[in-house]
Amino acid sequence: MKTNQDTAEPILAVENVSKSYSGTDEASLVLRSVNLTVAKSEFISIIGPSGCGKTTLMKICAGLLSQTSGVVTFAGKAGTPPPRKMGVVFQSAALLPWRTVMANILLPATIQKANMTKAKERARELLDMLNLVGVESKYPWELSGGMQQRVSIARSLVLEPEVLFMDEPFGALDAMTREKLNLDLQAIHARTGATIMFVTHNIAEAVFLSDRIVAMAARPGRVADVIDVTLDRPRTQDSYVDEDFREIETRVRNSFDRAAAS
Ligand SMILES: Nc1ncnc2c1ncn2[C@@H]1O[C@H](COP(=O)(O)OP(=O)(O)OP(=O)(O)O)[C@@H](O)[C@H]1O
C-alpha cells in the first residue's frame, strides 16, 4: 500500500537518533534509535505519554538540541534546517511585550536582515490569514491568549519557512479557540505548502491536522507506531463526527494506550 510518505520527496530524515541528557548507559537514554522520514509538505504529528521525548525529538530536528548519536538530514544533506528555512512555535507565545504585533511578526526578518519590504508584505498577508487585521499596532499584553498565539504563528511564518516545528502550540488555549486555530492552521498548511512537525497530547487534534501520526513509547522514547490519516482535505468541524475520522481516532488511541503501557 502506498503511504503519504511514499508519494512525496523527503525533506527531513532522522536516522538512528539516540539522546541522553546525562551518562552513556542504556538507562540514561531519553530517545533510543529513532528513525523517521518526513515528506515535503507533509503534516506530521507526534503523540505519546508525558516524558516520552516528543519535545526532545522535535528540538533535535530543529537543531535546538544535539543528539547523542545518529544523524538528522535536511533536504538530503546531513544537518538540521538552517534558521532561515524553519519556524518554531511553542506552547507559550513568547512575544516581546515592548514591541507591537507588527514588530513582533517582523522580528525574524529583522534578526536575519531579510528584505524588509518583502517581509512587511508577507506580514500583512499573514495578518489577513490569521484574522489579525486591526491589531497590528497593539501590544501583546492587549491581546487574548488565542490572539497572542496567532501572532506567534505569524512570526514563525514571516520568512516563508520550509519547515515549521510546533510544540503543543494550542495546549494552553480553550477548546473553542483551539478548534478555530486548527482550522486556520490547516488553511495555512494548504496555502504555504510548508512541512509541519506538530507535537500534541490531543488525539482528535492530531487526526484533524495530520497526514501521518507518530505514536511514541517511553523509557526510552522510541517510535511505537505510525498511522496514516487518509481523510480527504479540507477537513471541517463536521469531520470530527465522521465514521472514518472516529475509526482513525480509535486506532491512534489504541496505539497511544499500547505505547503508554509498554
Ligand atoms: N534539559 C534536560 N535535562 C535533563 N533531562 C531532560 C531535559 N529535558 C527533558 N529531560 C527529560 O527527558 C525526558 C523527555 O522529555 P521531553 O520533554 O522531551 O518529553 P515530552 O514527551 O515532550 O513530555 P511532555 O509530554 O510532558 O511535554 C523526560 O524524562 C525529561 O525529564
- Each residue of 219-234: pLDDT tens digit? 899 999 999 999 999 9
How many Å apart are CA 189 and CA 6, to the nearest integer?
Answer: 19
CA 57 to centroid of ligand 1, rounded, Å: 10
Q: Which domains does the chain have, with CATH numbers?
A: 1-80+204-262 (3.40.50.300)
Calculate what percentage of the chain has a pLDDT beyond 70: 97
pLDDT of 3 > 50? The answer is no
Of the listed ranges 85-89, 116-120, 171-175, 179-183, the least confidently predicted one is: 171-175
Give the closest residue to 55 by CA, choosing from 162, 169, 144.
169
Of the listed ranges 1-10, 33-42, 45-54, 154-163, the least confidently predicted one is: 1-10
pLDDT of 242 > 60? The answer is yes
**pLDDT at 25 (0 to 100):** 81
Mean pLDDT in residue range 46-57 = 95
From the CA of 22, give the closest atom in ligand 1.
Answer: 4
**pLDDT at 172 (0 to 100):** 84
CA 47 to centroid of ligand 1, rounded, Å: 14
Cβ(52) – ligand 1 distance below 6 Å: yes
From the CA of 221, give the closest atom in ligand 1.
Answer: 14
Cα dihedral sign, 128-133-135-136: positive
**pLDDT at 261 (0 to 100):** 80
Cβ(27) – ligand 1 distance below 6 Å: no
Q: Are the C-beta atoms of residues 14 and 60 closer than 8 Å to each other?
A: yes
pLDDT of 4 > 70? The answer is no
Burial of 97 (0-12, 13-18, 19+ CB in 10 A): exposed
Task: Give the distance between the most distant pair of CA atoms in the chain.
Answer: 55
Mean pLDDT in residue range 41-66 = 96
pLDDT of 8 > 70? The answer is no
How many Å apart are CA 170 and CA 96, to the nearest integer?
Answer: 19
Model confidence at 2, pLDDT cuts 50, 70, 90, reads very low
DSSP letter, residue 18: E
Q: Which residue has the higher pLDDT, 172 or 137?
A: 137
Q: Are the C-beta atoms of residues 235 and 205 closer than 8 Å to each other?
A: no
Cβ(31) – ligand 1 distance below 6 Å: no
Q: Which amino acid is at 112?
A: Q
**pLDDT at 84 (0 to 100):** 86
pLDDT of 182 > 50? The answer is yes
| Residue length of the chain | 262
Residues 6 or more apart whose Cβ sits within 8 Å of residue 153? 89, 130, 169, 181, 184, 185, 188
From the CA of 201, give the closest atom in ligand 1.
Answer: 25
Mean pLDDT of all residues in the chain? 92
DSSP string, 98-148: TS-HHHHHTHHHHHTT--HHHHHHHHHHHHHHTT-TT-TTS-GGGS-HHHH
Model confidence at 173, pLDDT cuts 50, 70, 90, reads confident
Model confidence at 50, pLDDT cuts 50, 70, 90, reads very high
ipTM above 0.95, yes or no: yes
pLDDT of 7 > 80? The answer is no
Calculate what percentage of the chain has a pLDDT beyond 90: 82
Q: pLDDT tens for residues 82-135?
A: 988 999 999 888 999 999 999 999 999 999 999 999 999 999 999 998 889 999
